[in-house]
Amino acid sequence: MKSKYMAEPYRIKMVEPIRQTTRDERITLLKNAGYNPFSLRSEDVYIDLLTDSGTGAMSQDQWSAMMVGDEAYAGSKSFYKLESVVKHITGYKYFMPVHQGRGAEQVFLPQLVTKKGMYYISNIHFDTTRAHVELAGARAIDCVVEDCYDIEHYHDFKGNFCLDKLEKAIATHGKENIAGIIMTITNNSAGGQPVSMANLRAVKEIAKKNGIMTIIDGARYAENCFFIKEREDGYQDMDILDIARETFSYGDAFLMSAKKDGLVNMGGILAIKDNEAVYNKCRTYIVPMEGFPTYGGMNGRDMEALAVGLMEALDIHYLQHRIDQIRYLGDRLRDAGVPIQHPVGGHAVFVDCKAICPHIPYDQFPALAVTNALYIEGGVRAVEIGSLLLGRDPDTKKNIQSRMELMRLTIPRRVYTYNHLDVVADAMIHVYEHRHELKGYEFEYESPILRHFTATFRPLK
């Protein structure tokens, strides 16, 4: 049981009932969902750790702010309030709201792809980023440090770029063929791992030397700032806001799913430091893709809530509790022998399913097998982050083998208690103890892009 010195830094004012199902019911429900946890109804899930995207609880100040939302089509007061907060945090000159992070990606990424044969380079592209890179006609290259792939090895910043890989990729493909460098913070596919300020600074220097734009994919930038404060020399006494401002100084653009560190259920940010030409292209493109530049797919009331949430996410007490919940679940699993990405990251515990299921080949999706077993055992919904998510090579159409087969136990913000996390841990430990019974899966239906969201499967005998 969690000790009282680090209890939730909030009181519960409203409750939402959740329903428990039986094991037999869950077996049927999962079968009816095509063995894809994304297709389960939320009412059939006891503890939902599918994602932290838009699943958090808003504060009383955010709910209060929504009451003054200005729903004007153009020039909304709520837009200017949100714009002021974004500029206060980032220092960037240009800002447009979007409905969520993938809205920012679909508006911004095509603007830098000016010819065939171009590439985006990232520490690791996340799923929608990779998809939008390919939809824009480019290809994605990942250049994360090798420490990322050593699950048991401790490294303060496993999300870092490998600078040698980055420079080699630029030299191999030609700087004129690199559309941009995307700094994903925290690095989700690496296990929610942070990126150091020194690494961000070095990446920016390489980009500047080669005349390449740097883009911060910062859905969880506040959590990254917390890790910098905690782990990197010279930042322990610095305010989180000041760490954030230095972080943004190393980017030329900022794409954010505000459903994470914006603490809202829907919304996103597209901000550009000072490149007026790119801003004007995006402002033109955003109208047919998202909406008028001063609402960009967001309601006025949601912009009000986001303006408050962005500042709440930079509160050190909130961040301490946020990271402590992740560590608590990670420690419980690790103490029981369950292999996880170590140390845990900022928003989730990533379970190493390649180690748990060495008998299941990558193209039979070992992390999906563990994910489905966890739902059947405890009614806990998690998500696969491995070869299923990685998809097929866009040119050869062959399944790509992920170097890590992970299951992500994603903790929503300000939603669950430590007791809920104990239920998750107990169920996962039971699955681990019966890991030799797990079987792989094959496709019934496979979508040609972002297949993990809508595919259906059948278990192998």
Catalytic residues: 73, 126-127, 217, 219, 260, 452
- The HSE-up count of residue 256 (CA atoms within 13 Å, CB side) is 30
Whether residue 237 contacts residue 62, with contact meaning beta carbons closer than 8 Å, is answered with: no
Give the separation between CA 322 and CA 307, rounded to whole angstroms.
20
Length of the chain: 461
| φ and ψ of 105, to 5 deg | -65, -45
Give the separation between CA 351 and CA 435, rounded to whole angstroms.
13
Report the DSSP beta bridge partners of residue 184.
217
Beta strand pairing call for 268-272 and 94-98: antiparallel
DSSP state of 297: T
Whether residue 311 contacts residue 84, with contact meaning beta carbons closer than 8 Å, is answered with: no
The answer to whether the Cα torsion of 85, 89, 93, 97 is positive or negative is negative
Cα→Cα distances 169→27, 119, 395, 403, Å: 46, 9, 19, 19
Q: DSSP alpha helices (H): ranges in 295-415?
A: 300-312, 316-335, 353-356, 366-378, 387-390
Among 157, 42, 96, smallest CA distance to 296 is for 96
Give the separation between CA 319 and CA 340, rounded to whole angstroms.
22
Q: For residue 439, how far is the Cα from the chain centroid?
A: 28
